[in-house]
Structure 1
Amino acid sequence: MRIKDKIKRPRRPVVVYEILPPREKDGTLNSYAANISSLLSQTHIDAINIPEVRDEVARGERPIKNQIRAEPREFGRLLQDIVGIEAIINRVVVHQELEKEMNWLEETNSKYEIENLITVGGESRSIEYPGPSVNQALDAIRKNQKLDLLCGGISIPSREKESLRLIEKSENGSEFFTTQVLYDSSKIIKMISHYQKRCNELNTFPRRLLLSFAPVSSVKNINFLKWLGVDIPSETEKKLKEDSQKMSEKSMQITINILNDTLKYLDDNKIVVPVGLNVEHIMSYNFQASIEMLQELSRIYREYCIKTDIY
């Protein structure tokens, strides 16, 4: 079953692994893809989520130097061929005018055989971009008969009125959302609750939310996540930093607690917002830790999907 069909079936579990395109020093695309294939053989996933990495000036100085990476659609096509799992590519849509962006998407869809897309906006509303907004791009994709794309978007639980943004993006064609990396359960629970309420008011079924998690193994990782805008409560950060040798293990336990809290809230309150998992590695040296996190969170989540009767 294609990821497009899985995402639209609330009872169907959806587990995604997010991986950065390789840097020049990581070797050839083929060798890198082969290594990824070996790692992923340890677990089952439904799709590979590939972000587009761009320099961002509005956030201030980047804690970790950005490096030239392979193009997401090229890496995605290769992974589909080598690993045999569908790719979801992220695309920042604001950097060129709409017509050029549509041409790029048509080429991505037909030539690179990519059928799943996450539309990403600009880093700041105060910057004037030459290209379309996320909603303008989604609307154009929906109306373009040359395109056969499953479209998704990004969700930032800590952002004010985020549930309204989800509704608007859904109305323009977004079928799912990946959240920002979660290190706090309170804001994702609050956002899901508001989103459910707004969907009820509009008599529409909520789109699937892929809950994002990532291990941290150093203070550098924590600082980078915070630079990306991830909300890490001070008490959680303090707990992570208590013992640098056990930071990865602690991050695993924290994410397990967040997932359990969220799933329990959904079940207790009969919230029918479909959820899924998106696990990422952040740094290449966290690959193995992220696979272990993927395995453990996936086990908890799949058990929940089997037992729940809310959908």
Structure 2
Amino acid sequence: MSTLFEKLDDGRAGIRLYGIAPPKLASTPERLRDIAAEQVDRLRLLAPDGLVVYDIQDEPGRGGQERPFPFLPTVDPEVYARAGLAELAIPKIVYRCVGAQPREEFSGWIDDVRSTAGRHVRVFVGAPRGRSHRPGFPLAEAYALAHAASNLVIGGIAIAERHIAKEDEHHRMLAKQDHGCRFFITQSVYDAGATKSLLSDYALSLRTSGRSPVPVVLTFSPCGSVRTLEFMKWLGISFPRWLENELRHSADTLERSVDLCERVFVEVQDYAREKRLPIGINVESVSIRKSEIDASVELYRRLSSHLGR
């Protein structure tokens, strides 16, 4: 079976990822060990190509709306991936919010990566929305500094909703590729039409410029309640009216969301194959509720089976 690095090096379709948020910073050491042990056991059974560990930041000014759930700081994703999940022998794809740290700190981190054995995978993201005082610096500079670490594989974010609003996300993707991005991970997908529009413009731009695509990993997240739906909308995730109605009025929102995610993925995958774009999956499990964790496992298995066809 091909490894994550082989798929990235060859620009292949079929990357399978599973995404988690680090535990809450207020967790006791005993609770941290229990959470890590449960996650390690679950991931060993699923055997994804890699694990995504998110860098959760507060975004107080997003859309001018009040956050549906309170922000609770989490354990540093770098620390959790390295120490808390040390037993898990798969690549960790850690998100790094370069807009939330000074340049000197980031440069020091790059030096640490260079001196550490093995290959590392990181996804760079900009500053959280609404932050008035930004200690960080532009993504382009982060990519330039990252070139010093030859053992570092960099990924980028692709957001279909931003493309619908500004019609330039495909240009952002190409610029990130030029800066060394080897793959993209999307925001959670519920709007097949928006995602297909982004992929269409990306494919056309590649053809016009004579460039090859890199893998686009589509993220999917089970939605367990109407309140979770509101939170996902607050995050900027787009729900077509018909699909939102299905979730709001379903007798079992969680089960319905898994079915709808599978339906959306099949539609987008078929379109991506027509455009000869290499597609992968990333199924998120960011909830602490057992029912939602179980739903993410079921969704991962369903999408993984489609990906292999």
Tell me which amino acid in the other structure corresponds to 1:182. V
Task: Report if the CA contact (8 A) 1:74-1:112 is conserved.
Answer: no
Task: Report if the CA contact (8 A) 1:40-1:291 is conserved.
Answer: no
In the alignment, the residues of structure 2 paired with residue 281 and residue 109 of structure 1 have an alpha-carbon distance, to the nearest angstrom, of 31
The sequence identity of aligned pairs, in percent, is: 26
State the Cα RMSD in Å: 2.1
Residue in structure 2 matched with residue 307 of structure 1 by the alignment = none
In the alignment, the residues of structure 1 paired with residue 47 and residue 288 of structure 2 have an alpha-carbon distance, to the nearest angstrom, of 20
Q: What whole-Å deviation, never above 9, does each CA across 1:154-203 have from its counterpart, x for those lacking one?
A: 11012121000000011011111110001110011111110011111111
In the alignment, the residues of structure 2 paired with residue 100 and residue 69 of structure 1 have an alpha-carbon distance, to the nearest angstrom, of 19
Q: State TM-score, norm by structure 1.
A: 0.89
In the alignment, the residues of structure 1 paired with residue 190 and residue 179 of structure 2 have an alpha-carbon distance, to the nearest angstrom, of 29
Cα offset, 1:258, TM superposition: 0.8
Residue in structure 1 matched with residue 70 of structure 2 by the alignment = 65
In the alignment, the residues of structure 2 paired with residue 113 and residue 65 of structure 1 have an alpha-carbon distance, to the nearest angstrom, of 38
Match of 2:257 among 228, 251, 255: 251
Q: Secondary structure at the match of 1:102?
A: helix
Cα offset, 1:100, TM superposition: 2.1
The structure-2 alpha-carbon separation of the partners of 1:112 and 1:129, relative to structure 1 and needing over 3 Å to count, comes to: farther
**2:302 matches 1:293:** no
Q: What whole-Å deviation, never above 9, does each CA across 1:233-276 have from its counterpart, x for those lacking one?
A: 22211110113x41111111111111111122133x3x122110
Residue in structure 1 matched with residue 171 of structure 2 by the alignment = 164
Task: Report if the CA contact (8 A) 1:49-1:89 is conserved.
Answer: yes
In the alignment, the residues of structure 2 paired with residue 108 and residue 69 of structure 1 have an alpha-carbon distance, to the nearest angstrom, of 22
Residue in structure 2 matched with residue 206 of structure 1 by the alignment = 213
**2:241 matches 1:197:** no
In the alignment, the residues of structure 1 paired with residue 286 and residue 175 of structure 2 have an alpha-carbon distance, to the nearest angstrom, of 29
Match of 2:59 among 49, 56, 60: 56
What residue ranges of structure 1 are gaps of 5+ in the alignment?
304-311
Match of 1:284 among 266, 279, 288: 288
What residue ranges of structure 2 are gaps of 5+ in the alignment?
none
Bigger shift: residues 106-115 or 214-223: 106-115
Cα offset, 1:74, TM superposition: 1.3
In the alignment, the residues of structure 2 paired with residue 232 and residue 181 of structure 1 have an alpha-carbon distance, to the nearest angstrom, of 10
The structure-2 alpha-carbon separation of the partners of 1:62 and 1:125, relative to structure 1 and needing over 3 Å to count, comes to: closer
In the alignment, the residues of structure 2 paired with residue 110 and residue 229 of structure 1 have an alpha-carbon distance, to the nearest angstrom, of 38
In the alignment, the residues of structure 2 paired with residue 283 and residue 185 of structure 1 have an alpha-carbon distance, to the nearest angstrom, of 24
Q: How many residues align?
A: 298
Residue in structure 2 matched with residue 219 of structure 1 by the alignment = 226
In the alignment, the residues of structure 2 paired with residue 149 and residue 17 of structure 1 have an alpha-carbon distance, to the nearest angstrom, of 20
Bigger shift: residues 290-299 or 147-156: 147-156
Within 5 Å, give how 1:92-103 maps onto structure 2.
92-103=97-108
Residue in structure 1 matched with residue 21 of structure 2 by the alignment = 20
Tell me which amino acid in the other structure corresponds to 1:291. V
Task: Report if the CA contact (8 A) 1:98-1:131 is conserved.
Answer: yes
Q: Secondary structure at the match of 2:46?
A: coil
In the alignment, the residues of structure 1 paired with residue 117 and residue 82 of structure 2 have an alpha-carbon distance, to the nearest angstrom, of 6
Task: Report if the CA contact (8 A) 2:191-2:239 is conserved.
Answer: yes
Match of 2:120 among 115, 123, 135: 115
In the alignment, the residues of structure 2 paired with residue 109 and residue 48 of structure 1 have an alpha-carbon distance, to the nearest angstrom, of 21
In the alignment, the residues of structure 1 paired with residue 22 and residue 110 of structure 2 have an alpha-carbon distance, to the nearest angstrom, of 18
The structure-2 alpha-carbon separation of the partners of 1:288 and 1:112, relative to structure 1 and needing over 3 Å to count, comes to: farther
**2:158 matches 1:155:** yes
Task: Report if the CA contact (8 A) 2:68-2:231 is conserved.
Answer: yes
Tell me which amino acid in the other structure corresponds to 1:49. V
Q: State TM-score, norm by structure 2.
A: 0.89
The structure-2 alpha-carbon separation of the partners of 1:208 and 1:63, relative to structure 1 and needing over 3 Å to count, comes to: same
Q: Secondary structure at the match of 1:42?
A: helix
Tell me which amino acid in the other structure corresponds to 1:30. R
**2:107 matches 1:106:** no
Match of 1:262 among 253, 268, 293: 268
Q: What whole-Å deviation, never above 9, does each CA across 1:8-52 have from its counterpart, x for those lacking one?
A: 334452100000101233744332221012222332201000011
Residue in structure 1 matched with residue 9 of structure 2 by the alignment = 8
Match of 2:194 among 184, 187, 194: 187
Q: Secondary structure at the match of 1:116?
A: strand
The structure-2 alpha-carbon separation of the partners of 1:132 and 1:150, relative to structure 1 and needing over 3 Å to count, comes to: same
Tell me which amino acid in the other structure corresponds to 1:255. C
